[in-house]
Amino acid sequence: MAGVEGRVVVVTGSGGGLGRQHALLFAERGAKVVINDLGGSRDGTGAGSEMADNVVKEIQAAGGEAVANYDNVATREGADGIVKTAIDAFGKIDVVVNNAGILRDVTFIKMEDPQWDAVVKVHLYGAYNVTKAAWAHMREQNFGRVIMTTSTSGLFGNFGQSNYGAAKLGMVGMMNTLAMEGRKYNIHVNAIAPIAATRMTEDILPEQMLQQFDPAFVSPAVVHLASEDCQDTGIVVLAGGGQYARVAYFQSAGVQLSEVPSVDELAGKWAEITGLDGAKPAGPFSAQS
């Protein structure tokens, strides 16, 4: 099997939680890992090098290869610095795991622009910035794997997370297009929707769920998506608590009308339009397993 041995992997936000688990498993499987973490709090404030440094030490103590990076994914300069760290240390960049994230939860009526902007900047812009910095290198070497970290909050919604949900579903939209553009260059772009007990979810998920959702359950799916063996592109995989499943768009059978309908005529067909009996997977890669 062709896995990730010898691959150079950037995992953003890997100083703790999910990112740390991903990084440890990549290193265990023989990859060389860039541990990127700004070292801030859950809401994105503050900074420090200790979190990233500790994960690097953990990997090196186990016989793996890793270097630390403390740049901010929310800026193009930061993203360029992250990829430069990979190339300076290991000579290339093969895999990007866009994992960095912050929370500024508040109901929409109370949402203020800085709360919206901060979350979108880290999640959506961060994924854009780091992927953009790595993309040309991946095209040139005719290999790349990009994993977006989406969320059930974006796929299905979650109270008080309109900023986070919008950013997370935006990452799926970016994935859909990049999967098309990258395919002929052997660049596969997929998304993981994790459910895990981390500092991001410690006061969101009930205590019983937190005990069940060890972040380590998510990482095998991420490493597989990053492997040479995995030929999927443009898919979303839900992973948490031992459950793994694909999430996909479906399109109803709908109706076909030969003439412009009146509002009342369309209303009369509404149940047929919106009903999911006979619905089929939709999208350019819907035929994939």
Which of 32, 98, 89, 90 shows the shortest CA–CA distance to 66?
32
Q: State which residues form the domain around 206.
A: 8-247
Task: With cut-offs at 50, 70 and 90, classify the pLDDT of residue 289.
Answer: very low
Q: What is the 3-state secondary structure (H, E, C) of the chain?
A: CCCCCCCEEEEECCCCHHHHHHHHHHHHCCCEEEEECCCCCCCCCCCCCHHHHHHHHHHHHCCCEEEEECCCCCCHHHHHHHHHHHHHHHCCCCEEEECCCCCCCCCHHHCCHHHHHHHHHHHHHHHHHHHHHHHHHHHHHCCEEEEEECCHHHHCCCCCCHHHHHHHHHHHHHHHHHHHHHHHHCEEEEEEEECCCCCCCCCCCCHHHHHHCCHHHCHHHHHHHHCCCCCCCCCEEEEECCEEEEECCEECCCCCCCCCCCHHHHHHCHHHHHCCCCCEECCCCCCCC
Same domain as 254, residue 237: no
The answer as to whether 1 is a domain residue is no
> Structurally, how many domains does the chain consist of?
2
Same domain as 255, residue 128: no
pLDDT at 210: 59
Where is pLDDT greater, at 34 or 282?
Answer: 34
Tokens linked to 44:
């994105």
Tokens linked to 50:
């200790």
The answer as to whether 14 is a domain residue is yes
Active site residue 70: no
Where is pLDDT greater, at 25 or 48?
Answer: 25
The answer as to whether 228 is a domain residue is yes
Same domain as 46, residue 128: yes
Same domain as 268, residue 219: no
Same domain as 40, residue 28: yes
Same domain as 166, residue 264: no
The answer as to whether 13 is a domain residue is yes
pLDDT at 110: 98
Cα gap 218→241, rounded to integer Å: 8
Cα gap 250→282, rounded to integer Å: 5
- To the nearest whole number, what is the mean pLDDT of the chain? 92
pLDDT at 286: 63
Same domain as 39, residue 90: yes
Same domain as 239, residue 181: yes
For the cut 50, the answer to whether the pLDDT of residue 170 exceeds it is: yes
pLDDT at 39: 77
Same domain as 205, residue 139: yes
Give 242-260 pLDDT, tens digit per residue: 999 999 999 999 999 999 9
Cα gap 137→87, rounded to integer Å: 10
The answer as to whether 82 is a domain residue is yes
List the catalytic residue out of 164, 185, 244, 249.
164
Same domain as 226, residue 92: yes
Same domain as 273, residue 154: no
What is the CATH classification number for the domain harbouring 162? 3.40.50.720
For the cut 70, the answer to whether the pLDDT of residue 40 exceeds it is: no
Same domain as 135, residue 177: yes
pLDDT at 285: 66
The answer as to whether 2 is a domain residue is no
Give 104-146 pLDDT, tens digit per residue: 999 999 999 999 999 999 999 999 999 999 999 999 999 999 9
The answer as to whether 225 is a domain residue is yes
The answer as to whether 3 is a domain residue is no
